[in-house]
Amino acid sequence: MAKHTTKMICPKCGAEMNHHADKLVDPVRPEDLRQVNPALGGIVEETHCCPSCGAVESRRAG
């Protein structure tokens, strides 16, 4: 899975979010299997925080 190159924008206040964590999660639904990184053994979920308002968002590594 390639890494996203674009910054996430806070959906609440429009500020640029900080990508501060990658969490490995297990596939739950059948369609999740396509997103599994075989080298890591799961799906990489990026976690982003808004330094302006504290909002939290996540997205799967692209």
Partner 1 sequence: MTNERPLSIPVILGTTRKGRMSEHAARFMVAQIAKREGVVTELIDISRMALRVDDAGDGVKEPEFSAKMIRADALIIVTPEYNHSFPGLLKHVLDSCLKEYIHKAAGIVGVSAGPFGGTRVIQDFLPVIRELGLVNIFWDVNFGNVSKVFDESGNLLDEGFVARADKFLNELIWMARTLRYGRDNIALDA
| Subset of residues 28 to 47 that bind partner 1, contact rule: CB under 8 A | 28, 45, 47
Q: Is 1 in the site for partner 1 (CB under 8 A)?
A: no
Using the minimum distance from each CB to partner 1, give the nearer residue, 24 or 34: 24
| Amino acid in position 45 | E
Q: What are phi and psi of 22, to 5 degrees?
A: -120, 125
Q: Please tell me whether residue 2 binds partner 1 under the rule CB under 8 A.
A: no
**How far apart are the C-alpha atoms of 1 and 26, rounded to whole Å?**
15
DSSP helix/strand/coil, 15: coil
Q: Name which position in 11, 14, 21, 62 contacts partner 1 (CB under 8 A).
A: 21
